[in-house]
């Protein structure tokens, strides 16, 4: 059926539905018939393929070939062990990737949208996936359309369909049938399509298609969201590639040195390739994904839902947090404290006394509803509820006003106009009531003497009150619907209401924490500058001498240059429009700042997109703002942003710890194998030894490092520069000296053992290198703090991983079966004790380095 050319009646007939919506049993039937309303995900790689892909690495393939060749040449045992180790490696890699994928899936599910439908003759909120054809969906500015709809009713409804048609301007919708059967999607203005965004107005539609039958479903294949790679992942992938070439070069040289010294070519091939497999950190980018995905999962528990994975990494670089006030810093629990009626104001409506006049306006002009299913409790925006409830408790209030002054028209509140208007019938005339920000109201009033009014309002604002002004007029005839100019003009000023909104108890603390962490908190609000400044002062945002409060009007007058010059002093922006938020973000970014910005409305979307971390509100936020954001605050709380930043810093720190650990260990392995022949020693390790060390050191201890708790000082450090490279802050020099030291300890063990004629020298070398790396894992837990002070046992997973490796290594040394497989020999107690002592050398050297760094104020490497 051609929905757009059909009349609404025909559509209902076809869908067997009505304006009252479907009944529960019909819904159940249809969900069976049509399935859930969701797009099929891109075909996931099946588990076997994910496993098989673990072997795609060229080095691993060459190693397998070499092992098979060596098996054919007679060394069956070695070949089998190599294959087993490779398979175990693949299983671990597979398990990790699988876990990361699950974590990402779980996050996606949580971000799923909700819609309002009319079912069982009632309005209900349901998950968008539960929509079925025939459902009646209510649309409102800020919503994302849940399925393909034929529009039934609309009031100034505008929908942005860029995701479907590429057209970035919002389209005005209509409910009338169209003529052209083959009209392109963009011209079907009586339709609304799944995943498009309602930017203005409201309306209703009936679902005509769900899931893969929707227009977006038909092109779903093209729209699969690509998981963004993070800056660090990109840098690491590049680095791994370069490192691979270097390692391969070293391996080639090593191969020829070995041959020249008379080693068997096949043995040398196995050794060098094992070394290449061990030394190339090909798993690093994958490990980062795991760390980020698990971090994101942890953040959800702290009420921050990450929509884009790279945000987890970049959170740690935030230097500015630009936040809303209402609901984010404050509790959004409005209570009217004080009202003031202008002496000159009286309504000339029979039956309404002068002292009742302002109460009447407060009782009529609102956007809240009594919920009959919930004890007639008033529901809606807390500002609205507070004003009506206050009026209803005052002497002179009359319960019948609602019936006597029925509402005929309304212009909803928006944060650009900063006011809302309702029109009510009264004895053959109409009373127009407007409430909003004082400036907006004075603008539409014919009153000229503003002074007493502003004075009164300023006193309220200085006490931190949010001030709402009221005005009204009587008209004889209703203008055409939506005519804002006719309604919001030439009014009489009536009075003020001041309300308080208590701060969130944790906000002050969070702001103080921001400051010690080198992050500047900034308040951007639609509220009056005096109220905003009073609250900002109370919270600690406005503190220093030069801190400024700027209004939207002042901001409008500033040139880009002046704004860029003065922006670091501006701590409070009041009466700004959402468009100005975008300008503020851009100006801050010009100053090389890394900005997190909150927003909840449709118009906030551009600023959220532009900000380095766009933060949407989970409770009060619109779908549009959530779509544009990188992170959603499930509790709308400022303190949650600060927690997320802290978590972001912790995750980045831990990734860096892992990189330090892996690079230093790998470098030590290469050096040991490469330097032995250079200094005239035999090959220190067999290929299986190298592969074994690679297996036990890279996998479990690496992951355990990702669970390390945050350093105590983590929020006392300045933010990390987002441009920071992998080797920043002395990582390169650390890798070199730790690698050299570990290799030296290993080679000295080898040389000395051979010198005294110890037949177990190879087992000792193997053990020293393995244990040294465990020590390195332990010491990598913090770049700054001493492990002895942190407590050896405080990272349980790491202790577990090290204990397991230790036991396995002992098994390899002492179990006869494993002796045969690994070519090892049981060490005497003295030999074992010696190995253990030698392996702690690198550990203690790094602890000493931390001490030196502390003494030199962390500037140990400042010379490079
Ligand atoms: P924030 O931007 O921090 O959330 P805010 O809630 O004060 O602060 P807006 O919602 O843009 O910002 O409101 C701007 C101004 O508009 C308010 O200070 C108030 O004077 C007025 N206002 C807010 N809500 C309403 C409403 N429901 N009806 C009429 N006027 C309102």
> Ligand 1 atom 14: the closest Cα is on which residue?
526
Residue 417 alpha carbon to ligand 1 centre in Å: 10
How many CB atoms within 10 Å of residue 218? 11
Q: Where does residue 400 rank: exposed (0-12), middle (13-18), buried (19+ CB within 10 A)?
A: exposed
Query: How far is the C-alpha of 613 from the C-alpha of 275, rounded, in Å?
Result: 41
Q: Locate 761 and state its tokens.
A: 């020298």
Q: Do residues 276 and 248 make contact, with C-beta atoms less than 8 angstroms apart?
A: yes
* 796: Cβ contacts below 8 Å, ≥ 6 apart: none
Q: Where are the beta strands (DSSP E) in 675-781?
A: none
Nearest to 614 by CA among 602, 622, 623, 627: 627
Residue 415 alpha carbon to ligand 1 centre in Å: 7
This prediction has a pTM of 0.83
* Of 390, 411, 418, 500, best ligand 1 pocket probe by most atoms within 8 Å of the beta carbon: 418
- For residue 146 and ligand 1, the question of a CB distance below 6 A is answered with no
> Ligand 1 atom 9: the closest Cα is on which residue?
526
Residue 525 alpha carbon to ligand 1 centre in Å: 8
- Strand pairing of 548-551 and 520-524? unpaired
Nearest to 435 by CA among 393, 387, 475: 387
- For residue 786 and ligand 1, the question of a CB distance below 6 A is answered with no
Q: Is 57 helix (H, G, I), strand (E, B) or coil?
A: coil
- For residue 289 and ligand 1, the question of a CB distance below 6 A is answered with no
Q: Do residues 836 and 771 make contact, with C-beta atoms less than 8 angstroms apart?
A: yes
Q: Which atom of ligand 1 is nearest to the CA of 468?
A: 20
Q: What are the CA-CA distances from residue 88 to residues 85, 94, 481, 699, 808 (Å)?
A: 5, 10, 71, 11, 14
Query: How far is the C-alpha of 860 from the C-alpha of 784, rounded, in Å?
Result: 12
> Ligand 1 atom 16: the closest Cα is on which residue?
418
- Strand pairing of 595-599 and 320-323? parallel
User: How would DSSP label each residue in 436-499?
Assistant: E-HHHHHHTB-----HHHHHHHHHHHHTT-EEEEEEEEEESSPPSTT-HHHHSSSBEEEEEEEE
Question: What pLDDT shows up at residue 223?
Answer: 43
- Strand pairing of 148-160 and 191-192? antiparallel
Which residue carries 């030439």 as its tokens?
A: 490
Query: How far is the C-alpha of 576 from the C-alpha of 525, rounded, in Å?
Result: 6
- For residue 466 and ligand 1, the question of a CB distance below 6 A is answered with yes
Q: Which long-range contacts (CB under 8 A, 24 or more apart) does 236-242 make?
A: 236/284, 236/285, 236/288, 236/659, 236/726, 237/285, 239/726, 240/280, 240/281, 240/282, 240/284, 240/285
Question: What pLDDT shows up at residue 484?
Answer: 86
- Return the half-sphere exposure (C-beta side, CA atoms, 13 A cut-off) of residue 692: 25
- For residue 525 and ligand 1, the question of a CB distance below 6 A is answered with yes
Q: Which atom of ligand 1 is nearest to the CA of 324?
A: 3
* Of 332, 380, 422, 436, best ligand 1 pocket probe by most atoms within 8 Å of the beta carbon: 436
- For residue 368 and ligand 1, the question of a CB distance below 6 A is answered with no
Residue 30 alpha carbon to ligand 1 centre in Å: 43
> Ligand 1 atom 22: the closest Cα is on which residue?
436
Query: Within its chain, how far is the Cα of 73 from the centroid?
Result: 55
- For residue 527 and ligand 1, the question of a CB distance below 6 A is answered with yes
Query: Within its chain, how far is the Cα of 193 from the centroid?
Result: 27
- For residue 575 and ligand 1, the question of a CB distance below 6 A is answered with no
- For residue 436 and ligand 1, the question of a CB distance below 6 A is answered with yes
Question: What pLDDT shows up at residue 490?
Answer: 92
Residue 553 alpha carbon to ligand 1 centre in Å: 16
Sheet holding 429-436, edge to edge: 335-341, 492-500, 466-475, 429-436, 419-426, 407-414
Q: Where are the beta strands (DSSP E) in 83-160?
A: 114-119, 122-127, 136-140, 148-160
- For residue 636 and ligand 1, the question of a CB distance below 6 A is answered with no
Q: Which atom of ligand 1 is nearest to the CA of 418?
A: 16
Residue 455 alpha carbon to ligand 1 centre in Å: 20
Q: Which atom of ligand 1 is nearest to the CA of 437?
A: 20
Q: Which atom of ligand 1 is nearest to the CA of 326?
A: 4
- For residue 258 and ligand 1, the question of a CB distance below 6 A is answered with no
> Ligand 1 atom 29: the closest Cα is on which residue?
436
- For residue 580 and ligand 1, the question of a CB distance below 6 A is answered with no
> Ligand 1 atom 2: the closest Cα is on which residue?
525
Q: Do residues 464 and 528 make contact, with C-beta atoms less than 8 angstroms apart?
A: no
How many CB atoms within 10 Å of residue 509? 13
What is the mean pLDDT, run by run of 10 residues, along the chain of 864 residues? 90 91 90 85 74 76 78 76 81 77 68 82 87 93 90 89 79 90 87 88 92 80 52 78 86 90 84 83 74 86 88 90 93 92 88 91 91 81 93 91 91 88 92 95 88 93 94 92 87 95 92 94 94 93 90 93 92 90 93 93 87 91 86 93 94 90 92 89 89 83 85 88 79 94 96 91 95 95 88 92 94 93 92 95 94 74 42
Q: Which atom of ligand 1 is nearest to the CA of 526?
A: 12
Query: How far is the C-alpha of 434 from the C-alpha of 499, rounded, in Å?
Result: 18
Question: What pLDDT shows up at residue 104?
Answer: 66
Q: Which atom of ligand 1 is nearest to the CA of 325?
A: 3
β partners of residue 421: 411, 434
> Ligand 1 atom 1: the closest Cα is on which residue?
525
Q: What are the CA-CA distances from residue 282 to residues 97, 235, 493, 572, 696 (Å)?
A: 14, 13, 71, 47, 16
Q: Is 180 helix (H, G, I), strand (E, B) or coil?
A: coil
Question: What pLDDT shows up at residue 277?
Answer: 80
Q: Which atom of ligand 1 is nearest to the CA of 323?
A: 3
> Ligand 1 atom 13: the closest Cα is on which residue?
526
Q: Do residues 18 and 12 make contact, with C-beta atoms less than 8 angstroms apart?
A: yes
How many CB atoms within 10 Å of residue 392? 15
Nearest to 783 by CA among 663, 666, 658, 667: 658
Nearest to 310 by CA among 296, 325, 320: 296
- For residue 419 and ligand 1, the question of a CB distance below 6 A is answered with yes
Q: Is 650 helix (H, G, I), strand (E, B) or coil?
A: helix
How many CB atoms within 10 Å of residue 396? 14
Residue 418 alpha carbon to ligand 1 centre in Å: 6
Q: Do residues 325 and 333 make contact, with C-beta atoms less than 8 angstroms apart?
A: no
- For residue 383 and ligand 1, the question of a CB distance below 6 A is answered with yes
Q: Is 547 helix (H, G, I), strand (E, B) or coil?
A: coil
For the chain, the first-to-last Cα distance in angstroms comes to 72
> Ligand 1 atom 31: the closest Cα is on which residue?
436
- For residue 381 and ligand 1, the question of a CB distance below 6 A is answered with yes
* Of 422, 468, 578, best ligand 1 pocket probe by most atoms within 8 Å of the beta carbon: 468
Domains of the chain: 3-42+111-222 (2.70.150.10), 246-281+655-855 (1.20.1110.10), 304-330+503-636 (3.40.50.1000), 337-500 (3.40.1110.10)
User: What amino acid positions are annotated as catalytic residues?
Assistant: 324
- For residue 422 and ligand 1, the question of a CB distance below 6 A is answered with no
Residue 29 alpha carbon to ligand 1 centre in Å: 45
> Ligand 1 atom 20: the closest Cα is on which residue?
437
- For residue 385 and ligand 1, the question of a CB distance below 6 A is answered with no
Question: What pLDDT shows up at residue 862?
Answer: 41
Residue 380 alpha carbon to ligand 1 centre in Å: 14
* Of 324, 334, 527, best ligand 1 pocket probe by most atoms within 8 Å of the beta carbon: 527
* Of 323, 381, 383, 420, best ligand 1 pocket probe by most atoms within 8 Å of the beta carbon: 383
């Amino acid at each position: 059926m051609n929905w757009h050319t059909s009349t609404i009646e025909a559509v209902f007939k076809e869908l067997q539905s009505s304006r009252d919506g479907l009944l529960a049993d019909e819904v159940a039937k249809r969900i069976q018939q049509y399935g859930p309303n969701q797009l099929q995900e891109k075909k996931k790689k099946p588990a076997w393929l994910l496993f098989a892909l673990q072997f795609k690495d060229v080095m691993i393939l060459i190693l397998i070939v070499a092992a098979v060749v060596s098996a054919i040449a007679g060394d069956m045992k070695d070949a089998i062990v190599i294959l087993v180790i490779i398979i175990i490696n693949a299983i671990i890699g597979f398990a990790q990737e699988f876990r990361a994928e699950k974590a990402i899936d779980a996050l996606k599910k949580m971000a799923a949208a909700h819609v309002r439908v009319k079912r069982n003759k009632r309005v209900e909120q349901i998950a968008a996936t539960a929509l079925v054809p025939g459902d009646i969906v209510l649309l409102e500015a800020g919503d994302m359309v849940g399925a393909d709809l034929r529009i039934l009713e609309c009031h100034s409804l505008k929908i942005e369909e860029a995701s479907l048609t590429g057209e970035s301007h919002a389209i005005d919708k209509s409910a009338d049938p169209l003529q052209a059967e083959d009209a392109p999607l963009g011209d079907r203005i009586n339709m609304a399509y799944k995943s498009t965004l309602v930017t203005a107005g409201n309306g209703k539609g009936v679902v005509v298609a769900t899931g893969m039958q929707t227009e977006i479903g038909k092109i779903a294949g093209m729209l699969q969201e690509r998981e963004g790679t993070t800056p660090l992942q990109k840098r690491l992938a590049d680095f791994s590639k370069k490192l691979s070439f270097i390692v391969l070069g070293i391996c080639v040289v090593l191969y020829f040195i070995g041959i020249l010294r008379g080693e068997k070519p096949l043995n040398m091939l196995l050794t060098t390739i094992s070394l290449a497999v061990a030394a190339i950190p090909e798993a690093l980018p994958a490990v980062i994904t795991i760390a980020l995905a698990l971090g994101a999962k942890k953040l959800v528990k702290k009420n921050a839902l990450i929509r884009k994975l790279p945000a987890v990494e970049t959170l740690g670089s935030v230097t500015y947090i630009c936040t809303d006030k209402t609901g984010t810093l404050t509790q959004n629990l409005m209570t009217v404290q004080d009202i003031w009626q202008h002496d000159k104001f009286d309504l000339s409506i029979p039956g309404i006394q002068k002292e009742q006049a302002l109460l009447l306006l407060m009782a009529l002009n609102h956007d809240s509803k009594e919920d009959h299913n919930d004890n007639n409790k008033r529901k809606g925006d807390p500002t609205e509820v507070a004003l009506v409830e206050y009026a209803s408790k005052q002497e002179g209030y009359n319960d019948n006003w609602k019936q006597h002054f029925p509402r005929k028209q309304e212009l909803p509140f928006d944060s650009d106009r900063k006011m809302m208007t309702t029109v009510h019938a009264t004895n053959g005339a109409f009373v127009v009531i407007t409430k909003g920000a004082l400036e907006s109201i004075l603008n539409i009033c014919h009153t000229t003497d503003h002074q007493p009014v502003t004075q009164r309002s300023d006193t309220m604002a200085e006490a931190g009150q949010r001030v709402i002004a009221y005005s009204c007029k009587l008209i004889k005839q209703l203008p055409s619907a939506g005519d804002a100019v006719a309604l919001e003009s030439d009014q009489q000023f009536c009075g003020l209401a001041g309300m308080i909104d208590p701060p969130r108890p944790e906000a002050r603390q969070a702001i103080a924490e921001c400051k010690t962490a080198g992050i500047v908190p900034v308040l951007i609000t639609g509220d009056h500058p005096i109220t905003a400044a009073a609250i900002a002062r109370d919270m600690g945002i406005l503190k220093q001498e030069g801190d400024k409060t700027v209004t939207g009007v002042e901001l409008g007058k500033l040139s880009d240059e002046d704004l860029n010059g003065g922006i670091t002093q501006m701590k409070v922006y009041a009466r700004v429009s959402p468009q100005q938020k975008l300008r503020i973000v851009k100006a801050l970014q010009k100053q090389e700042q890394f900005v997190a910005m909150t927003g909840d409305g449709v118009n906030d979307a551009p600023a959220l997109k532009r900000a380095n971390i766009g933060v949407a509100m989970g409770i009060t936020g619109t779908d549009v703002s959530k779509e544009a954001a990188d992170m959603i605050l499930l509790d709308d709380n400022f303190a949650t942003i600060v927690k997320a930043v802290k978590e972001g810093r912790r995750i980045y720190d831990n990734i860096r710890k892992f990189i330090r650990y892996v690079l230093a260990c790998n470098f030590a392995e290469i050096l040991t194998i490469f330097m032995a022949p250079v200094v005239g020693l035999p090959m220190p390790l067999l290929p299986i030894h190298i592969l074994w060390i690679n297996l036990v050191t890279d996998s479990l201890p690496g992951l355990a490092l990702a669970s390390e708790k945050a350093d105590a000082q983590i929020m006392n450090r300045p933010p990390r520069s987002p441009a920071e490279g992998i080797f920043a802050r002395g990582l390169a020099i650390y890798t070199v000296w730790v690698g050299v030291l570990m290799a030296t300890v290993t080679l000295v063990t080898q040389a000395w053992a051979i010198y005294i004629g110890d037949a177990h020298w190879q087992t000792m070398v193997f053990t020293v290198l393995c244990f040294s790396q465990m020590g390195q894992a332990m010491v990598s837990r913090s770049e700054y703090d001493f492990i002895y002070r942190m407590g050896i046992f405080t990272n349980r997973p790491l202790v577990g991983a090290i204990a397991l490796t230790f036991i396995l290594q002992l098994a390899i040394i002492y179990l006869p079966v494993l002796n045969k497989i690994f070519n090892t020999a049981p060490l005497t107690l003295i030999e074992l004790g010696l190995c253990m002592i030698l392996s702690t050398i690198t550990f203690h050297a790094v602890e000493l380095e931390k001490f030196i760094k502390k003494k030199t104020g962390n500037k140990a490497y400042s010379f490079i």
